[in-house]
Amino acid sequence: MLRLGRAIRKNSPQVIEFADYRRRRFNWNFLTPLNESGITRLTQMSDELNQAQAELRDFERTVLALRLELENAHAESDARLRKSAVAAKAEAAQLESTIVALRDELEEARAEREKAVQQAIAASHNEIQQLKATVAALRDNLEIARIDKENEIERAVNVSKAEIAQLHGTVRALREQIEALTAKI
C-alpha cells in the first residue's frame, strides 16, 4: 500500500492501494474522499491483506518448521552415521586384535609342533643309536660266544684226540702184551 503524505494515517480513508494508483494512471480524482463502498472495499482488502499476511506467516512458520525438521533429520542422520562409523571402527579394531591373537596362537602352535617334531626326531635318533649300540654289543657277545664255543670244541677235540691217542697207545700196548702172551704160549 502506498501512503500519500505524512499527515495521512494508516486507517484513514485516504489510504489507497498501489494497484488502484496504477490503474488510474495519474487520474487525480482518486484523491477525493472515499465513500462507504470504498471503505467497505478497503476494509475487505485490508482483511484479505491480513489473511494473506497470516497465510504468509503460516507458510513461513511451516517452512521454518520443515527446515528445522530437515536439519534435525540431517543431524540425526549424521549422528547415526558417526555412531555407525564409530561402531564399525570398534568392530574393525576388535577383528584386527582377534586376527593378531589368532595369528600369534597359530605361530605358537606351529612352534610347538616344530619343537615336538624336533624332540621326536631327537628321541628316535637316540633310540636308533641305543639300538645300534645294543646290536653291536650283541654281535660282539655273539662273536665272543662263537669264538669261545669254537675254542671249547677245539679243546674238546684235542682232549678227545689225546684221549683217543692214549687209548690207541693203550690198545697197542695191550695188543702187544696179548701178542707177547700168545707168543709165549
* pLDDT single digits (tens) 148-160: 999 999 998 888 8
The residue type found at 17 is E
* pLDDT single digits (tens) 53-89: 989 999 999 999 999 999 999 999 999 999 999 999 9
Comparison of pLDDT for 123 and 7, the residue scoring more: 123
2 is a domain residue: no
User: Which residues have CB under 8 Å from 21's CB, separation 6+?
Assistant: 2, 30
On average, the pLDDT of the chain sits at: 82
pTM for the predicted model, two decimal places: 0.40
Task: Give the range of the structural domain holding residue 171, as residue numbers without chain letter.
Answer: 35-137+150-184
* pLDDT single digits (tens) 22-47: 444 444 444 445 556 767 877 888 88
Q: What pLDDT is stored for residue 114 in this prediction?
A: 95
Residue for grid cell 564409530: 86
CB 29 within 8 A of CB 41: no
116 is a domain residue: yes
25 is a domain residue: no
109 is a domain residue: yes
Q: What is the SS3 string spanning the chain?
A: CECCCCCCCCCCCCCECHHHHHHHCCCHHHHCCCCHHHHHHHHHHHHHHHHHHHHHHHHHHHHHHHHHHHHHHHHHHHHHHHHHHHHHHHHHHHHHHHHHHHHHHHHHHHHHHHHHHHHHHHHHHHHHHHHHHHHHHHHHHHHHHHHHHHHHHHHHHHHHHHHHHHHHHHHHHHHHHHHHHHHHC
% of the chain surpassing 90 pLDDT = 51
Q: What pLDDT is stored for residue 180 in this prediction?
A: 84
Flag whether pLDDT at 12 surpasses 70: no
CB 15 within 8 A of CB 31: no
Our measurement of the distance from residue 77's CA atom to the centroid of its chain's CA atoms, rounded to an integer in Å, reads 29
* pLDDT single digits (tens) 86-107: 999 999 999 999 999 999 999 9
Please give the tally of structural domains in the chain: 1
